């Protein structure tokens, strides 16, 4: 699944900011102990990628996808609060304002 379906995983930030990646994810991306990953911050969104990932190619692919769909990065970012609220409600079955 290089550019296929979108998969999401929920992980917790632990003591001292440590994250544990699910085994299935580590195996599918061949991530091993000691590997270096890169974190990209796009607005309030984090993207985590194996260092071996060719970031320029990924960004070109994303730009092409956005161009083909007439969606801008600003459109995606503008929709994030609504999507986060939907995920929160689904996950916790409550309103984030409560």
Mean pLDDT per 10-residue segment, the chain (98 residues): 69 92 89 87 85 71 85 84 88 72
13 DSSP β-pair partners: 19
- Which residue, 46, 87, 94, 42, is CA-closest to 66? 42
Alpha-carbon distance 75 to 98, whole Å?
Answer: 28
- b or e along 25-36 (b: 16 or more beta carbons within 10 Å of the residue's beta carbon)? eeeebebeeeee
Per-domain residue ranges of the chain: 15-92
| 3-state secondary structure (DSSP) of residue 89 | helix
Report which DSSP code applies to 17. G
Residue spans of alpha helices (H) in 6-72: 23-28, 55-69
Secondary structure element (H or E) that encloses residue 88, with its range: helix 73-92
């Amino acid at each position: 699944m290089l550019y296929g379906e979108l998969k999401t995983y929920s992980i917790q930030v632990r003591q001292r900011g440590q994250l544990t990646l699910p085994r299935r994810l580590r195996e599918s991306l061949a991530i091993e102990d000691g590997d270096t990953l890169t974190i990209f911050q796009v607005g309030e969104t984090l993207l985590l990628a194996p260092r071996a990932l060719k970031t320029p190619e990924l960004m070109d692919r994303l730009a092409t996808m956005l161009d083909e769909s007439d969606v801008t990065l600003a459109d995606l970012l503008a929709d994030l609060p609504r999507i986060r609220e939907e995920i929160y409600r689904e996950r916790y079955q409550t309103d984030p304002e409560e």
